[in-house]
Structures are given as C-alpha cells and as structure tokens.
Amino acid sequence: MELLVCVINQEDKLEPVLSGLAELGVAGATIVATRGMAEHLPADTPVLAGLQDLLTRSRPEHTMVLSVIESDATVERAIEMINNVLGNLERAGTGILFTIPVTRALGLAGSPSSGLD
C-alpha cells in the first residue's frame, strides 16, 4: 500500500489524471490547491537568482493529488498513466510524482481491512 502524491502544474491535466485513476479502480483521492515556495520568497533571494527564467514561466498555483492505493500493480499503472497524461515528468515544469509506503490506513473507501497484518 502506498500514498501516491502528484503535483500537477497544468490545470487542464487534472481532470484526465482523475479520470485515469478512476479507470484504474482507484476509489478516491484528495485534491489540494498548492503554491510553490518561489512565490513566497523575494525575487532577489540568491538561491533563486539562477532560476529566474524558470520562475517567470511557472504558474504560482498547482494542484496536488493524494491517494492511498492498496495494490502495487495499480500504483505502477497509475504512475505510468500520470506520466503519459502530464507529458513526461522528466521535463522541468511538468509536475512532481512520488510515493510513500503506507503501513496502516483507516477509512479507505470500499476497504474494510486496510491495515497490514
């Protein structure tokens, strides 16, 4: 069981990602509007000086999708689908995706026994 975390930088990609997750049998996800740290730091912050071009192209608001997925196979299919929908996460500014192992989860939709034995 893993927590899939995906930050989507393009607003028009959210619906296809959510539809794709539903098609894979993912029962639910939480969607959170987020902002990057660059939006809160002064423009002359030294660490950002070399990233000015990237910052001027990026959107201040992003969408984070969080979903606990029980099946490892479904996690792998979800990662592949999201990578395809977003257009290759290896490209800068596309988005971020990572997973975190989950050892226990309560309250998952359609799952009476969600803890690991």
Q: What is the mean pLDDT of each run of 10 residues along the chain (117 residues)?
A: 95 95 95 76 57 52 93 97 94 92 85 46
HSE of 17, CA atoms in CB hemisphere, 13 A: 29
- CA dist., res. 26 & res. 50, Å (int): 40
pLDDT at position 84 is: 96
CATH architecture of 2-101: 2-Layer Sandwich (3.30)
Tokens of 91: 């490209």
How many residues are given for the chain?
117
Instruction: Count other Cβ atoms within 10 Å, centred on residue 40.
Output: 9
Q: Apex CA 64: angle with CA 68 and CA 89, to 5°?
A: 95
pLDDT at position 15 is: 96
**How, if at all, do strands 2-8 and 95-101 pair?**
antiparallel
pLDDT at position 34 is: 85
pLDDT at position 65 is: 97
